[in-house]
Structure 1
């Protein structure tokens, strides 16, 4: 009985240590090396390596290319998205989006980064006949959406460059930016102004603007966007809604803290 209890205690300790390693990797702004993880958890290198290998075998962490540093896997990222979509604060975020829609009279959405694309945590449609069906959970590209370009611009430089070099910059419309240098230049302006636009770059006839949901002065955890048909309005007119859009982003930021 005593041996069984000791075995259970050891298993619990290992699980807690493995979870702490996962926390450290998820909190980092860039993938971490083994030694960087060891320094942050204060455990022997051999123990950390064994636990990470177990997490890697279970597809909970993965090693990026080409430097082979550790990051959370798509399995964990998908779980995080589902938790954010169904957690208690999700109701508060939806209420904020609904209020924004009532104010600006256009469709609004909330999106976060999810590895190689972005995903809608929530989306509230305006009551107009002409609208696009993109439900919560839908995934859209970084390079041709207002929320995607915004979230790209706030990534640490090395992480952004790593992502830019592997993204397929496909032209989904005639307006899509497919030149990497041109996209880089736009991202600099997006970060400086803290507002991003989509001028029919993802879907012909659909325009949008987005602002960041800031965790602190330099980290954006999500983007809030207004989306509308180009035949009904313009980017310039959407920009007149920046104040309520930024107010909504600030309110939503509180639900992430």
Structure 2
């Protein structure tokens, strides 16, 4: 009798954990929809029986995590879920979220990792984790770079809607900083389209001779670009194939930061 009783407790806990995981799955599926889902749609997306789905939804409805629109016959996100999400938005800090990822980039690439945001038609370095190499990037925290002549600036521009891109470049005369700087609007747009397709942008000595970088975008909850992460170093270490490797790595890390921050890639 005692043995059966001891076995029941772990079974009950396992059942409770399973129910919580299923409920969170339903919440994610409903949140991912534009206007809500029918019971059948929720059940299919969560790969659960309709009866189980309905039981979980009604329990969540009692706590106002979801709500049922009787007229439309669909389940939608409830006010409690909204309040919970709003608390996350209030307390999140991009630099706090991004810092461990910057460190990981340095560990995996051996190069300096940076995070930039747009400010007045330029990008500003908010944080940096330096490479252990003696030769490393020259941009410091607080430093500003022109958007058209930096990997982070071009990454952000490539993911902006056309009107926002034009506003960001309106104060930028595409000043020539090195022989590699792109100063022609048509050529810049071609480079930005290529960066958008690849998911990352590069700077091949365009703001400082002998320096290269690869950068990719962090997105906010609406899918807008809010910051860019980059890795940078001297051309002597960052050859052609190496740049492609860094581009893919920084893109992967930027998407992970986006997810951790609660953002959404378009």
Measured on the aligned residues, the alpha-carbon RMSD in Å equals 2.0
2:133 to 103, 128, 134: 128
Would the alpha carbon gap of residues 89 and 220 (structure 1) be closer, same or farther in structure 2, given more than 3 Å must change?
A: closer
Residue pair 1:154, 1:218 contacting (<8 A) in 2 also? no
The gaps in structure 1 that reach 5 residues or longer are 1-86
Aligned equivalents of 1:233, 1:186: Cα separation in 2: 19
Out of 187, 197, 202, the residue aligned to residue 202 of structure 2 is 197
Offset of residue 193 of structure 1 = 1.8
Larger Rg: 2
Q: Of residues 158, 163, 167 in structure 2, which corresponds to 1:162?
A: 167
Match of 1:246 among 242, 245, 251: 251
**Distance verdict in 2 for CA 1:235–1:222, change over 3 Å:** farther
What is the CA-CA distance between 1:216 and the residue it aligns to? 5.4
Q: CA distance change for structure 1 residues 110 and 171 in 2, over 3 Å: closer, same or farther? A: same
Structure 1 residues 156 and 136: CA distance shift in structure 2, 3 A = same
Aligned-partner Cα distance in 1 for 2:204–2:241: 11
Distance change in 2, residues 1:243/1:185 (3 Å):
closer
Contact map agreement 1:107 1:226 (CA 8 A) in 2: yes
Q: Distance in 1 between matches of 2:160 and 2:174?
A: 18
Summarize the Cα distance change of 1:242–1:187 in structure 2 as closer, same or farther, 3 Å threshold.
closer
Give the number of aligned pairs. Answer: 171
Would the alpha carbon gap of residues 254 and 161 (structure 1) be closer, same or farther in structure 2, given more than 3 Å must change? same
TM-score w.r.t. structure 1 length?
0.61
- In structure 2, the residue corresponding to 1:227 is in which secondary structure? strand
Residues 77-116 of structure 1 aligned to structure 2 (within 5 Å) = 88-116=93-121
Q: In the superposition, relative to structure 1, how do residues 105 and 112 fare at CA in structure 2: closer, same or farther (>3 Å)?
A: same
Match of 2:192 among 187, 193, 202: 187
> Which deviates more, 169-178 or 190-199?
190-199
Q: Is the 8 A contact 2:204 2:212 kept in 1?
A: yes
Q: Say if 2:113 and 2:231, in contact at 8 Å, map to a contact too.
A: yes
